[in-house]
Structure 1
Amino acid sequence: MKDALFGGVNAAVLTAMRPDLSPDPARMADHAKWLLANGCNGLGVLGTTGEANSFGLHERKQILEGLVANGVSAATMMPGTGTASLADTVELTLHAKAQGCRGVLVLPPFYYKNPSDDGLFAYFSEVIQRVGGGIALYLYNFPQQSAVPFSLDLIGRLLKAYPGAVKGVKDSSGDYANMKAMIDAFAKDGFEVYSGSDEYVQRILAEGGAGCITAASNANSHWGGIVYAKRTGAEADAAQAVLTATRKAATSVALIPGLREIIARSTGDDGWRTIRPPHLKLSQAQADAVWKAWEVAGALPLPGLGVKAAAE
């Protein structure tokens, strides 16, 4: 897809924390800069992998402001701003716009289950009208987590009612048929479809999607960048095989602490293991297993990071 605002590989960036569990934007910014230098075209900050819903409203603003202050271009970032509260969603979206972000990723209101399409349309209508333009909204379809999926009918209604306001979707459902249906229905009008699953990157690009926003891109972005640049051929196929294998490795343990373990060992920075409850650090056996799985996938050492000895 041409002219996609976030076309290519976008990492769902881990949020660095201090020992007291407060956000550490400076360390997070270092990681973000490494990602942009190693295959990423953009950064999905404060999403599921970034533990956004474990942070308060003011903390989320602090993280975004801290990233900008530490030299991460706001234009590269797509912050998650969707909450269960209409007012908070609007406030976070306006804040992202004020920082210079070009787009935000918006969960549906997820506390009340089984809302109707009419109810969701009313919610997003209020968000769009209160934000007032100047920043693109990307829908976050993750029904396994939110329990609130986006139907094709709802997306079509929003696109018709608010041309240009809703720019695309991150589909983390893992259902490629659903991603393809969105591409077939809306990509011709510039709607950007991003896979939340690494195994579909090459395929979604070939079929008119815009790219990916994935958790494993925190550590496999080098190979994602190859797939995005080459698209087809032996080099792209080999890189896609690494993406698929690393996705499997990443999900062999709890995803977020597992990715923190890979970055912690690769950088020699134990602070990356710090995580907010209810998430927990991996056991030593789990940590060793996920590291071995990434090795078997052919992704270690991570380009540009260097590796501290696995035995710590």
Structure 2
Amino acid sequence: MSINWRGVFPAVTTLFKDDESIDFAANAKHVEWLLESGVHGLIMLGTVGENGSLSASEKRDVLKAAKELVAGRVPVIAGVAENRTADACRYAEDCAALGLDGLMVLPGMIYKADTRENVQHFRTVLNATDLPVLAYNNPMVYGVDIKPETFAELADQKTLVAIKESSDDVRRLTDIVNLTGDRFTLFCGVDDLMLESGLLGATGCVHGIANAFPAETVQLWKLMEEGRWAEARTLYRWATPMYHLDTSPKLVQYIKLVQHLVGRGSEMVRAPRLTIAGEERAWVEAMVKHALDHRPTFG
């Protein structure tokens, strides 16, 4: 299906059983709940989906199950985060064969490529399929920065249609537009810059805490689209303490813990990640309790 690049696209968690095996039944239940909550698309196997913790065959199995379950109700987009460019191309080809609707492409993992190498990586992966691509820029986590000037250099790649900007510098959105005009659709990639990004022209967001509070996140985006900024600010201020969790190196563990605390899945992660414990866990539990105790109502 064609992708309408707007709205809330949760970066869907991959749920595991206690033995770290994939819990496909729990994943299906979670995806169905997200759809019922009104999300506009799904990002499978991004950072929050623990892409790097799954084997090649597991990744294909997760994507196939998601595509079959969703059955065209919203776009299903696969994260592409392989170490080698050749492996990323092969993975992209497999995603196309599985019927995925699009790709979210990251720089090659492990090696910190320079700009020339990074451009070559993206060009090669972009040319591997005809699927539309959301480029994911997150230098804070992955150590490679795709600067606005680099996106201008890649503007001739027809399948590169959108940018998930997660540099933690919301000014980048304006810089990209000033350099490339309306060439790219802009997405916010950081939960706690959602409102600011929308004001600056982002038409959608890839969201982590939406795994636990999808209806509230969808409502926030609706308020933003309708220009109801006072109401949007109120809802945003309620959610922002939890949204800050998305910017931590432990974002996967934190988001899964929040999801668990609201009764929507296991917090189990694969080693070397460990579930949150001690004072750190108590801090997140208190934050979520406060959010639930003061949960906003909306029509």
The interval holding the TM-score normalised by the smaller chain is 0.7 to 0.9
CA deviation after TM superposition for structure 1 residue 17, in Å = 1.1
Letter in 1 for 2:290: V
Percent sequence identity is 23
Letter in 2 for 1:50: G
Q: Distance in 1 between matches of 2:71 and 2:295?
A: 25
Q: Distance in 2 between matches of 1:267 and 1:53?
A: 26
Q: Distance in 1 between matches of 2:263 and 2:13?
A: 14
Matches within 5 A, 1:133-212: 133=130, 135-160=131-156, 162=157, 164-186=158-180, 188-189=182-183, 191-212=184-205
Q: Distance in 2 between matches of 1:46 and 1:27?
A: 15
Q: Distance in 1 between matches of 2:166 and 2:72?
A: 25
Q: Which residue of 1 aligns with 2:117?
A: 119
Q: Which residue of 2 aligns with 1:14?
A: 13
Is 1:27 aligned to residue 23 of structure 2? no
Matches within 5 A, 1:27-176: 27-71=26-70, 73=72, 75-113=74-112, 115-131=113-129, 133=130, 135-160=131-156, 162=157, 164-176=158-170
Q: Distance in 2 between matches of 1:300 and 1:92?
A: 43
CA deviation after TM superposition for structure 1 residue 21, in Å = 1.4
CA deviation after TM superposition for structure 1 residue 67, in Å = 1.8
CA deviation after TM superposition for structure 1 residue 99, in Å = 2.5
Unpaired runs of 5+ residues, structure 1, are: 304-312
Letter in 1 for 2:200: E
CA deviation after TM superposition for structure 1 residue 75, in Å = 4.7
Q: TM-score, structure 1 length as denominator?
A: 0.84
Unpaired runs of 5+ residues, structure 2, are: none
Q: TM-score, structure 2 length as denominator?
A: 0.87
CA deviation after TM superposition for structure 1 residue 139, in Å = 1.1
Q: Distance in 2 between matches of 1:249 and 1:145?
A: 14
CA contact (8 A) 1:242 1:299 kept: no
Given candidates 243, 262, 267, the residue that maps to 1:273 is: 267
CA distance 1:283–1:41, shift in 2 (3 Å): same
User: Which SS does the other structure have where 1:275 is aligned?
Assistant: coil
How many residues of Structure 1 are paired with residues of Structure 2 in the alignment?
293
Q: Which residue of 2 aligns with 1:310?
A: none
CA contact (8 A) 1:24 1:63 kept: no
Is 1:246 aligned to residue 242 of structure 2? yes
CA deviation after TM superposition for structure 1 residue 48, in Å = 0.7
CA contact (8 A) 1:39 1:223 kept: no
Q: Which residue of 2 aligns with 1:237?
A: 233
User: Which SS does the other structure have where 2:35 is aligned?
Assistant: helix
CA distance 1:245–1:170, shift in 2 (3 Å): same
CA deviation after TM superposition for structure 1 residue 14, in Å = 0.9
Letter in 2 for 1:122: Q
CA contact (8 A) 2:3 2:101 kept: no
Q: Which residue of 2 aligns with 1:306?
A: none
Tell me the alpha carbon deviations over residues 256-283 of structure 1, each in whole angstroms, 9 at most, x when there is no partner. 22222222232275xx121101110111
CA distance 1:268–1:61, shift in 2 (3 Å): closer
